[in-house]
Each structure stands twice: as C-alpha cells, then as structure tokens.
Amino acid sequence: MTLAPRLDLRQSQSLVMTPQLKQAIGLLQLSNLELEAVLMDAASANPLLRVSGQEGEKDAKADPKAEEPAEAGSADGESALDISAELIDRDRDTGDFPDFGATGGGGFDGDFGNDFAPGGGPTLSEHLHDQLCMAHGTPVQLFIARQIIGRLDEAGYLTVPLEELARDLGVSVDDAEAALRMVQSLEPTGVGARDLAECISLQLAERDRLDPCISLMLNNLDLLARGNLAQLKRMCRASDEDIAEMIADIRSCDPRPGHVFGVEPAPPVVPDVLVRGDGVAGWLVSLNRENLPRLVVDRAYHARVSPSCRDKAASSWLGEQLADANRLVRALDQRQRTILTVAREIVKRQEGFFLRGVSALVPLTRREVAEATQLHESTVSRVTANKFLHCTRGCFELRFFFASGVSASGGGEQDGDQGAASAEAVKAAIRALIDAEPADGILSDDALVTELKKQGYEIARRTVAKYREAAGLGSSVQRRRQKALSRAG
C-alpha cells in the first residue's frame, strides 16, 4: 500500500451565518428598551443614522425620502430568520411557569408570595421581632429568640453554634433549641437555619414536600454539587424521574431567605405588544409605539456630503455606511412584522383567555405557532423572549401563553377539543378552591387532588403542590396559620 497525494471533487451544502443574519437574530430577541440602547450605539457609529422619537417621526413625514422603506420579501426578510436549529442555539425554557414577581403580572392578584415585597419595608430583624410578639413560649425562650434574631446574618442564617450561644447567655441548650425552633417558625421560611441543608429542609417541610428520600439527598448535598447523580440514585433508591423532581424541588427553594429584605424593587414592565377589542369585532394587535425607537436614514446629509468624497476610499466608506443603515432599517421592519405575526397567532389560539380569563387557557407549544406562521421554532422562541403583552386583563410575558397541558377527563368547557387543560387553568382552579376554603376547613394537597378530580382534572399530588407553589399559594400549614392570625387580629 502506497501513499500518494491526489485531488478529489466533492459537493456539500452548508448554511453560513452572514453578518446580516446575525444582526436580524440579535435584534429579534431584544425588548424595546434593549433595542433602543443598541440603536443609539449604531447611530453614534454611523453618521447617516439617527434615532428619533415623536419629533423625528414628524420630520420623517415632512421628508418622505428621509427613510428607505423595507422591502417585503427582501434578502433580509422572513427567510433570513427561518434557519436551521443546528446553526443557532435555541432558547430553552427552564420551567413551565412564568416568574410572576419578576414580570410584574402573571394573571393572579392574590396576596400569597407578596408578603415580603422589597423596597422601603422593614429590615429582617424588625420583621422577625414583630412576629415574635405573637409567638408562644416562656419568657426565657422569648429572650433567647430575640438574641438569636440579633445574631442572624444578612441571608438569615445563624452562624453562631447553638451551644456557644447558650453558654454566652447562661441558659440551657434545651431552651436554646426551643427558642431556635420558635425563630425557624417565623416568616420568611428558612430563617434561623444553621446551614443550607437545614434552610432547604424548613422550606420543603412547610410545603409538605420533605420525605425521607429528599432528606437523604439534603444530607449529601456535596454529591449533588459534584453531579454524582448515580450514587444519589442508589442511596435514595429512586428512579431518574424521582431524582429529577427532587432536584427541582431543592432548586425551587430560596437559599438566602433574608436577602429579600435588602433587594431593590423591580422596575415596572413596559409592554411591547398591545391587544384591544372584545372578541366580537375582532382583536386589534399592535406594537407599543410609545417606547418603540424609530431609526431614520438621513439621506439629506448623505446628499450633502457625497459630492465632497473625491477619493475612492472616502466614497467607498460612505457607500458602506449607507448600505449598513438601509440594512438595519430593513431588519427593524422585519423584526416588527415578525413580532406582530407571532402575537396575532397567540391571540388567535388563546382567545378564550382574553374573553374568560386564565381558566380558559389551552395548551400551546411554540412548534404549533411556528407551523401556523411558517416560521422556525427557534424564531418563535426569540420573539417571545423578553416581550410583554398588555390587554384588559393585565400585562403578561408572551411566554405565559405557552402553557403545558394536563389530562382532563371531565369534558368541561375549559378542556376544549383537545382533551387537555392548560397548567395555568389548573392553577386557577387551585386558587379558586383555596380562596373558597373556610378558616376551619383548610384543604391539604390530597384534598385538592380530590376536588380537582371532581372538576375533571386528573393530576397527581406532587403536581398539585408544584402548581400551588408556582401560583404563589402557601401550604395548608401556612394558610391555617395566616387565617388564625387574621381572626386573632
């Protein structure tokens, strides 16, 4: 066998990520506020570009040649965004439920989960001392509890060993332990913990999610940190699905419960899409023009400076700046049309929500919207990222409308023709049951499962607990305590 060089002719196809394609993808996933910052940078680098508000819009109307209109079906049009999933990284959701506290609206207006909202409120120590006034215990235990509260760090942890604390105060270790349990019963749940495992255990116990398997996992957090899931699986004698659910439960806990008292309030949400109408005459879906930046190509300036470019380099540079400006304007126009297309399809699919509320949400996936709009699924994912929709029911993130489904056997109105109900509809049903429960008849998660089955929802207890927590509703123990305090007050 001999080695010798030779020439071979091969054919292959590949999709190249052009600068124009990268620009279109980057602009598509930005919110209007982020887009404005990007356009300001582009305008400062390109003398032919300027970002205008309402005043600029008047100038553009006065000079129709000031801005080049986008060409439908251009090279930077819709086909530029429908690219292969192998070429770009898809946006992946880490959960089925929106973060209601961060988005400023999630369809629920209850009080659970908002008791400790940051911004101008009491400190952690003040908040705990106020609750301690209603706690029951001996004078010695109350004295020790106040000392424990004074020694908590910013995250709410007790960093001083309990034996050392008892020795310094001249009390017994039993009284110190009773006082610590008293502090750990206060809100927010998890304060007074001595380590991360105890902090998470307190939160899971309040949710009625602390079982022997997850306790064993908490005792071996070092294995979880190293990603040694195989050994955890053997120790807990659990399946892959159970291990994944337990990890999700642990990640849902707040490792620093005291930090909520030192966080700045979240900025208000500015919607990107506006929906008007009542469903009778149709729905009007439009972009929010008030915070939508307008990019203008200054052709008058180009006409003035073009004759002064006498050498080839200057003329070529000016031509590149004009081409870049026109390309950016077309990309912005395509971004707006793509967002409107996806938003209109979402409104069409979730019309029941706009008419009857969250209980009428139907299961919806990005693939279904992508097939209906003839866009790629990754494009739909980018459109719905960091975008908010405002309607008569409030302000919602576009991802809120992509609800997972659960089996429904009752054939109720919210089931539609798909034999499934939206996860948000189930959460709304759970909230309705909890709101209607009397103070002396608090429903446990098992009782909620029974009541939901009567309404046609086939759902497991663990899923009920997960949906209840995602809706910001406390456990039966927490609700019983809150209603008892309300009656006492």
User: CATH number, domain at 143?
Assistant: 1.10.10.1330
Phi and psi at 293, nearest 5°, equal -65, 145
In a domain, 326, yes or no: yes
Same domain? For 246 and 353 the reply is: no
Last residue of a domain, one of 366, 387, 403: 403
Among the listed ranges 47-61, 86-100, 297-311, which one has the minimum average pLDDT value? 86-100
End-to-end CA distance of the chain: 95
In a domain, 434, yes or no: yes
- Domain of residue 192 covers 124-252
Amino acid present at 349: R
Among the listed ranges 109-113, 123-127, 282-286, which one has the minimum average pLDDT value? 109-113
When pLDDT is averaged across residues 19-44 and rounded to a whole number, the result is 82
Contact (Cβ atoms closer than 8 angstroms) between residue 326 and residue 20: no
Q: What local confidence, expressed as pLDDT, does residue 267 receive?
A: 66
In a domain, 262, yes or no: no
The DSSP result for 97-130, as a single string, is: S--HHHHS-SS---STT-TT--SS---HHHHHHH
Q: Is 445 exposed, middle or buried (0-12, 13-18, 19+ CB in 10 A)?
A: buried
Same domain? For 340 and 447 the reply is: no
pTM of structure: 0.50
With cut-offs at 50, 70 and 90, classify the pLDDT of residue 54. Answer: very low
In a domain, 231, yes or no: yes
Q: Is residue 114 scored above 80 in pLDDT?
A: no
Phi and psi at 396, nearest 5°, equal -135, 145
Q: What local confidence, expressed as pLDDT, does residue 344 receive?
A: 92
Phi and psi at 319, nearest 5°, equal -65, -35
Cα 84 to Cα 25: distance, rounded to the nearest angstrom = 12
Same domain? For 417 and 440 the reply is: yes
With cut-offs at 50, 70 and 90, classify the pLDDT of residue 414. Answer: very low
The DSSP letter of residue 413 is G
Q: What local confidence, expressed as pLDDT, does residue 345 receive?
A: 92
Q: Calculate the average pLDDT of the chain.
A: 75
With cut-offs at 50, 70 and 90, classify the pLDDT of residue 341. Answer: very high
Give the percent of the chain with pLDDT over 90.
Answer: 3
Which two structure tokens, joined as six digits, stand for 395? 């302000």
Cα 138 to Cα 115: distance, rounded to the nearest angstrom = 28
Q: Using the structure block, give the residue that is written with the tokens 């949906």.
A: 467
Q: What local confidence, expressed as pLDDT, does residue 56 receive?
A: 40
Q: Is residue 4 scored above 50 in pLDDT?
A: yes
In a domain, 213, yes or no: yes
| For the ranges 16-25, 114-123, 427-436, the one whose mean pLDDT is highest | 427-436
Last residue of a domain, one of 219, 252, 285: 252
Same domain? For 372 and 294 the reply is: yes
Same domain? For 412 and 399 the reply is: no
Which two structure tokens, joined as six digits, stand for 338? 């793509």
Residue 26 neighbours by CB distance under 10 Å: 14
Q: Is 218 exposed, middle or buried (0-12, 13-18, 19+ CB in 10 A)?
A: buried
Same domain? For 133 and 215 the reply is: yes
Same domain? For 234 and 339 the reply is: no
Cα 25 to Cα 29: distance, rounded to the nearest angstrom = 7
Reference 261, options 154, 392, 171; nearest CA is 154
Same domain? For 435 and 360 the reply is: no
With cut-offs at 50, 70 and 90, classify the pLDDT of residue 106. Answer: very low
Per the model's pLDDT, the better-predicted residue between 303 and 136 turns out to be 303
Q: What local confidence, expressed as pLDDT, does residue 206 receive?
A: 86
When pLDDT is averaged across residues 95-116 and rounded to a whole number, the result is 35
In a domain, 150, yes or no: yes
Q: Is residue 251 scored above 80 in pLDDT?
A: yes
Please report the beta strands in 283-377, taking only residues with DSSP state E, as ranges in sequence order.
Answer: 283-287, 294-297
Per the model's pLDDT, the better-predicted residue between 384 and 77 turns out to be 384
When pLDDT is averaged across residues 294-313 and rounded to a whole number, the result is 85
Q: Is residue 292 scored above 80 in pLDDT?
A: no
In a domain, 219, yes or no: yes
Q: Classify the C-alpha dihedral 415-416-418-419 as positive or negative.
A: positive
pLDDT tens digits for range 471-487: 777 888 778 777 766 66
When pLDDT is averaged across residues 432-436 and rounded to a whole number, the result is 84
pLDDT tens digits for range 194-245: 888 888 888 888 888 787 888 888 888 888 887 778 888 888 887 878 888 8
Q: Greatest CA separation found in the chain?
A: 95
Same domain? For 288 and 195 the reply is: no
Runs of H (alpha helix) within 228-279: 229-236, 240-251
State the total domains in the chain.
3
Residue 129 neighbours by CB distance under 10 Å: 16
Q: What local confidence, expressed as pLDDT, does residue 486 receive?
A: 64
Strand partners, 286: 274
Same domain? For 154 and 181 the reply is: yes
Same domain? For 315 and 396 the reply is: yes
Give the percent of the chain with pLDDT over 70.
Answer: 77
pLDDT tens digits for range 259-290: 777 555 556 778 888 998 876 778 889 888 87
Same domain? For 288 and 397 the reply is: yes
Which two structure tokens, joined as six digits, stand for 160? 């001083």
Last residue of a domain, one of 403, 425, 451: 403
With cut-offs at 50, 70 and 90, classify the pLDDT of residue 61. Answer: very low
With cut-offs at 50, 70 and 90, classify the pLDDT of residue 68. Answer: very low
Q: What local confidence, expressed as pLDDT, does residue 343 receive?
A: 92
Please report the beta strands in 7-133, taking only residues with DSSP state E, as ranges in sequence order.
Answer: 49-52
Cα 45 to Cα 277: distance, rounded to the nearest angstrom = 42
Which two structure tokens, joined as six digits, stand for 258? 């005291």
Report the Cα 272 to chain-centroid distance in Å: 16
Per the model's pLDDT, the better-predicted residue between 109 and 270 turns out to be 270
In a domain, 242, yes or no: yes
